[in-house]
Amino acid sequence: MEQLQHKTAVITGGNSGIGYATAADFLAKGAKVLITGRNPEAVQQAVDTLGNDTDSFIADQGKIADTQKLAEYVRDRYGKIDILFVNAGIANFGPFSQVTEESFDRLMDINLKGAFFTVQYLLPLIKDGGTIILLSSINALAGMPGASIYNASKAGLNSLGRTLSRELASRKIRVNTVNPGPVETPILQKAGIPEEAINKDEMAKKLPAGRIGQPEEIAKLVSFLASDEASFITGAEYNIDGGFSVHPLIG
């Protein structure tokens, strides 16, 4: 039986990487899927490859007015949804001393404030018994140097997940957070790191798994958490990082 049959899902940032792979996995498991993104051509390209049953809406997660319009669209089109996957995010790297108010606000507006208000605006449209999954990062826990804004934005998401799991318990809405380690997506190039400077082999050496992850591997965990098979799981945080979080200090 298809694990997500009769479920309707909204995925923010579904035109690329983990969001795209999750949309494909949700569709394969029988869900109706709406993806969002900020770039109309990229979103249309994703819809073309995911299949024309995929719905889409152009909304910048960093703009609350867009989120409000997304919620109106979802309400008019679907009434209620079962799954909200808050995935859209950007990265930004550089020493703490060089962080500007502008770079801080740009990242926080999308990764934390945008994620926060995406949940708030869509919450009345999530069925009782539905589920929310927040896409954080192992960086929320790891304190990686040179990623102070990103790390803080993701730590905020983990905190939000814990709070919402309790606040929404009366509506039987399960809230869980996923913390991936390094995954092969275009996020680093989009953050301005040239392709030749991204050393996957060096990253892989730090992982017991011996390689970085693929978006499809994260998608499978998200699909499981979105399904009724995860009915006893809420307030949880899942590291899916090839073992990065147990990187040994000794030995």
Ligand X SMILES: NC(=O)c1ccc[n+]([C@@H]2O[C@H](COP(=O)([O-])OP(=O)(O)OC[C@H]3O[C@@H](n4cnc5c(N)ncnc54)[C@H](OP(=O)(O)O)[C@@H]3O)[C@@H](O)[C@H]2O)c1
- Residues designated catalytic: 150
Helix (H, G, I), strand (E, B) or coil at 75: helix
Segment interacting with ligand X (CB under 6 A) among 26-34, 96-104, 121-129, 186-194:
186-194
Instruction: State the Cα–Cα distance between residues 144 and 249, nearest whole angstrom.
Output: 15
User: Does the protein bind ligand X through residue 123 (CB under 6 A)?
Assistant: no
* 225 touches ligand X by CB under 6 A: no
The window from 84-92, 126-134, 194-202, 223-231 that contacts ligand X (CB under 6 A) reads: 84-92
Tell me if 180 contacts ligand X by CB under 6 A.
yes
Indicate which single residue of 32, 38, 175, 225 sits in contact with ligand X (rule: CB under 6 A): 38
Which of the ranges 9-17, 159-167, 192-200, 242-250 carries the binding residues for ligand X, by CB under 6 A?
Answer: 9-17
Q: Which two tokens stand for residue 75?
A: 């309400």
- Contact segment (CB under 6 A) with ligand X among 47-55, 56-64, 194-202, 230-238 equals 56-64
Contact flag: residue 161 with ligand X (CB under 6 A): no
Residue 180 exposed, middle or buried by CB count within 10 Å (0-12, 13-18, 19+): buried
Pairing of strands 174-180, 126-135: parallel
Which residue of 185, 227, 234, 239 would you call a contact of ligand X, by CB under 6 A? 185
90 binds ligand X (CB under 6 A): yes
Closest approach, Cβ 37 to ligand X, in A, equals: 5
CA 46 to chain centre: 17
At 129, list the tokens: 């018994």
Q: Is position 89 an interface residue for ligand X (rule: CB under 6 A)?
A: yes
- Grouping H, G, I as helix, E, B as strand and the rest as coil, residue 122 is helix
* Cα 28 to Cα 6: distance, rounded to the nearest angstrom: 12
Q: Which of 22, 54, 56, 61 touches ligand X by CB under 6 A?
A: 61
State the first-to-last Cα distance of the chain, in angstroms, to the nearest integer: 46
Q: Binding to ligand X by residue 42, rule CB under 6 A?
A: yes
Give the Cα separation of 58 and 67 in Å (integer): 10
Pick from 135, 142, 149, 225 the residue near ligand X by CB under 6 A. Answer: 135
- The rounded distance, in Å, linking the Cα atoms of 117 and 160 is 11
145: CB partners within 8 A, 6+ apart: none
Return d(Cα 48, Cα 8) in angstroms, integer: 19
Residue closer to ligand X by CB (options 75, 113) is 113
Specify the residue, 47 or 88, whose C-beta has the smaller distance to ligand X. 88
Applying CB under 6 A, the residues found at the interface with ligand X are 12-13, 15-19, 36-39, 42, 60-62, 87-91, 110, 135, 137, 180, 182-183, 185-187, 190, 215
